[in-house]
């Protein structure tokens, strides 16, 4: 009787351990995947707020000093065509794709 009980416990413990290891592996892969997705977004935001002198420095500056919000204003106003024309064109194409499919 005692032998079968201990075998049952060890089987249960090994199954529990396997489930726990699977959960740890799953969480590890999810964390790595989230980092791979979010790091380029962080890099893009950080670079967009840097002055031109800090964009290509090595080692990279992770948090820009000073933060330059004017880069966004220049990105919107640099073209001779107003920015809203680009937004309207993208909206038009997107709506046509949604309605057409």
Give the whole-number percent of the chain exceeding pLDDT 90: 51
- Nearest Cα residue to 37 out of 47, 26, 29: 29
Which residue did the predictor score with more confidence, 22 or 7? Answer: 22
Q: What is the pTM of this model?
A: 0.62
HSE-CB for 14 with a 13 A CA cutoff:
6
> Residue 13, Cα to own-chain centre: how many angstroms?
37
**Residue-wise pLDDT tens digits, 21-33:** 999 999 999 999 9
* Structural domain containing residue 75: 2-100
Tally of domains in the chain: 1
Mean pLDDT highest for which of 23-27, 47-51, 61-65?
A: 23-27
- Nearest Cα residue to 54 out of 42, 70, 41, 67: 67
């Amino acid at each position: 009787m005692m032998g079968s009980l201990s075998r049952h416990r060890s089987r249960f413990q090994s199954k529990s351990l396997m489930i726990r290891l699977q959960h740890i592996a799953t969480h590890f892969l999810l964390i790595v995947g989230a980092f791979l997705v979010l790091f380029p977004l962080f890099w893009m935001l950080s670079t967009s707020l840097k002055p031109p002198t800090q964009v290509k420095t090595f080692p990279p500056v992770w948090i820009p000093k000073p933060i330059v919000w004017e880069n966004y204003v220049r990105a919107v106003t640099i073209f001779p065509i107003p920015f809203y024309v680009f937004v309207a064109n993208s909206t038009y194409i997107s709506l046509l794709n949604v309605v057409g499919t």
